Amino acid sequence: LLAPLPSSQFGWVFNAPVDPVELGLPDYFEVIKKPMDLGTVKKNVENAGYHDIESFKEDCHLAFDNALNYNAKASSVYNMAAEIKKHF
């Protein structure tokens, strides 16, 4: 399920944890209480960190929901997250 996302048109945005310092997002951790990204999801899959498909799906959706919650609707990151979530 994850394999096509990182190489997709938008998937690269969600491959690594958000770095608020590098990206200049000082309030990121105030807004986003449980950060998630697809790279972390992939590591969890590889390390048998999920006991059921629902936990896997929740983390994938969390990565996209965080982007939707933090970013403005007009932003490219918001629109990428919305587009991927529609197909996930």
Q: What is the CATH number of the domain that holds 59?
A: 1.20.920.10
Say what percent of the chain tops pLDDT 90. 77
With 60 as the cut, is the pLDDT of residue 53 above it? yes
When mean pLDDT is compared across 2-6, 25-29, 43-47, 67-71, the lowest value belongs to 2-6
The total domain count for the chain is: 1
Q: How confident is the model at residue 6 (pLDDT cuts 50, 70, 90)?
A: very low
Domain that holds residue 62: 4-87
- Quick one: pLDDT at residue 61? 95
Counting DSSP H helices and E strands in the chain, the numbers are 6, 0
Give the pLDDT mean for 66-80.
97
| pLDDT for the residue 86 | 87
Q: Is 88 helix (H, G, I), strand (E, B) or coil?
A: coil
